[in-house]
Structure 1
Amino acid sequence: MFARLSLRLRVLLFFALLAVGGVVVVAAALLVGFRSAQTDGLASGFITAGLIAGFGFLGLVAGIWLLFDENVAKPIQAIATTLRARAHAGAASEVDTHSARYLGDLAPAAEALSVKLESTTSDAAQMVASETQMLSAERAQLTALLTEIPVAILLVGPEHRIVLYDGQAAGTLAQIAPPRLNALIFDYLDETKLRAAHQKLIKTGMDVSFVAASPDGRVSFDARLKPLADAKSYMILIDEAQAQIAPDEARPLTFDFELLSAQPTSDLSELPLEQISFVVFDCETTGLLPHKDELVQLGAVRVRRNQIIEGEQIDRLINPDRPIPATSTRVHHITDAMVAGAPPPKEVVSEFHHFVRDAVIVAHNAPFDMAFIRRHGNEMGLTWQQPIVDTVLLSAILYGPTEVHSLDALCARLGVVIPEHLRHTALGDARATAQVLCKMLPMLSALGYRTLKDVLEQTQKYGRLLDDLN
Structure 2
Amino acid sequence: MFSSLSLRFRVFLFFALLAIGGVGLAAGSMIFGWMRADLPLPLGPFVTPLILFAFLNTGLILAIWLLFDENVAKPIEQLSSKLRLGAHSGVKADLDTKEARYLGDLAPAAQALARTADTSVTEMATQIAAETQRLKVETERLTAVLTEAPVATILLSKAQEIVLYDRQAADILSGVAQLRLRAPIADYFDPDALRSAFRQLQGDIVEVPASLPSAIGQHVFETRIKALSNEGYMIFIDAEAHPVDQTASRPLVFDFALMNRDATKDIRDTPLSDFCFVVFDTETTGLSIEKDSIVQIGAVRVLNGRVVDGEVFDSYVNPGRPIPPASTQIHHVTDAHVADAPDIGAAGRAFHHFARDAVLVAHNAPFDIGLLRASETQMGVEWTHPVLDTVLLSAAVFGTTEEHSLDALCDRLSITIPAAHRHTAMGDAIATAEALVKLLPLVQAKGHKTFGQLLQETRKHGRLLKDLNG
Whether the TM-score (by the shorter chain) exceeds 0.5 is yes
The verdict on how the C-alpha distance between 1:263 and 1:305 changes in structure 2, with shifts beyond 3 A counting, is same
Contact kept in structure 2, 1:299 and 1:313, CA below 8 Å:
yes
1:71-126: CA deviation from partner (whole Å, max 9, x where unpaired)? 11111000100110111111124112222122222222212211110011101111
| 1:250 partnered with 2:237 | no
Contact kept in structure 1, 2:82 and 2:93, CA below 8 Å:
yes
Moved more, 197-206 or 321-330: 197-206
Q: Matches of residues 126-141 of structure 1 in structure 2 within 5 Å?
A: 126-141=126-141
Q: What does residue 162 of structure 1 align with?
A: 162
1:330-361: CA deviation from partner (whole Å, max 9, x where unpaired)? 11011111111111011111111111111111
- Residue 421 of structure 1 aligns to a residue whose secondary structure is coil
The verdict on how the C-alpha distance between 1:290 and 1:266 changes in structure 2, with shifts beyond 3 A counting, is same
Q: Matches of residues 410-449 of structure 1 in structure 2 within 5 Å?
A: 410-449=409-448
| 1:112 partnered with 2:112 | yes
Aligned residue pairs total 440
The TM-score with structure 2 as length reference comes to 0.89
The verdict on how the C-alpha distance between 1:463 and 1:453 changes in structure 2, with shifts beyond 3 A counting, is same
Q: What does residue 346 of structure 1 align with?
A: 345
The TM-score with structure 1 as length reference comes to 0.89
Contact kept in structure 2, 1:360 and 1:388, CA below 8 Å:
yes
Unaligned stretches of 5+ residues in structure 1: 1-10, 31-40
* Equivalent position amino acid for 1:248 in 2: T
* Equivalent position amino acid for 2:337 in 1: M
Moved more, 302-311 or 445-454: 445-454
The verdict on how the C-alpha distance between 1:282 and 1:333 changes in structure 2, with shifts beyond 3 A counting, is same
**TM-fit CA distance, 1:42:** 4.3
- Residue 457 of structure 1 aligns to a residue whose secondary structure is helix
Q: What does residue 124 of structure 1 align with?
A: 124
Q: Matches of residues 7-406 of structure 1 in structure 2 within 5 Å?
A: 42-202=42-202, 205-230=205-230, 233-406=232-405
The verdict on how the C-alpha distance between 1:171 and 1:461 changes in structure 2, with shifts beyond 3 A counting, is same
Q: What does residue 33 of structure 1 align with?
A: none
**TM-fit CA distance, 1:306:** 1.1
Contact kept in structure 2, 1:175 and 1:219, CA below 8 Å:
no
- Residue 384 of structure 1 aligns to a residue whose secondary structure is coil
Moved more, 248-257 or 359-368: 248-257
1:418-465: CA deviation from partner (whole Å, max 9, x where unpaired)? 011110000100000000000011111111111111111111111110
**TM-fit CA distance, 1:266:** 4.8
**TM-fit CA distance, 1:204:** 5.5
**TM-fit CA distance, 1:242:** 2.7
Contact kept in structure 2, 1:350 and 1:377, CA below 8 Å:
no
Equivalents in 2 of 1:74, 1:242: separation in Å?
A: 65
* Equivalent position amino acid for 1:276 in 2: F
1:189-247: CA deviation from partner (whole Å, max 9, x where unpaired)? 100111111111235514222222222234332111122122x6211111122343424
- Residue 49 of structure 1 aligns to a residue whose secondary structure is helix
- Residue 193 of structure 1 aligns to a residue whose secondary structure is helix
Equivalents in 1 of 2:195, 2:426: separation in Å?
A: 37
* Equivalent position amino acid for 1:250 in 2: S
Contact kept in structure 1, 2:345 and 2:380, CA below 8 Å:
no
Moved more, 100-109 or 305-314: 100-109
As a proportion of its length, which structure holds more helix?
1
Contact kept in structure 2, 1:164 and 1:253, CA below 8 Å:
yes
Equivalents in 1 of 2:285, 2:43: separation in Å?
A: 69
Unaligned stretches of 5+ residues in structure 2: 1-10, 31-40
Contact kept in structure 2, 1:209 and 1:224, CA below 8 Å:
yes
Moved more, 235-244 or 439-448: 235-244
Contact kept in structure 2, 1:150 and 1:245, CA below 8 Å:
no
Equivalents in 2 of 1:467, 1:275: separation in Å?
A: 25
Equivalents in 2 of 1:329, 1:448: separation in Å?
A: 43
- Residue 349 of structure 1 aligns to a residue whose secondary structure is helix
* Equivalent position amino acid for 1:73 in 2: A
- Percent identical pairs in the alignment equals 48
The verdict on how the C-alpha distance between 1:185 and 1:95 changes in structure 2, with shifts beyond 3 A counting, is same
Equivalents in 1 of 2:338, 2:429: separation in Å?
A: 20
1:13-49: CA deviation from partner (whole Å, max 9, x where unpaired)? x99xx99xx89x98xx99xxxxxxxxxx842210101
* Equivalent position amino acid for 1:172 in 2: I
Equivalents in 2 of 1:245, 1:290: separation in Å?
A: 41
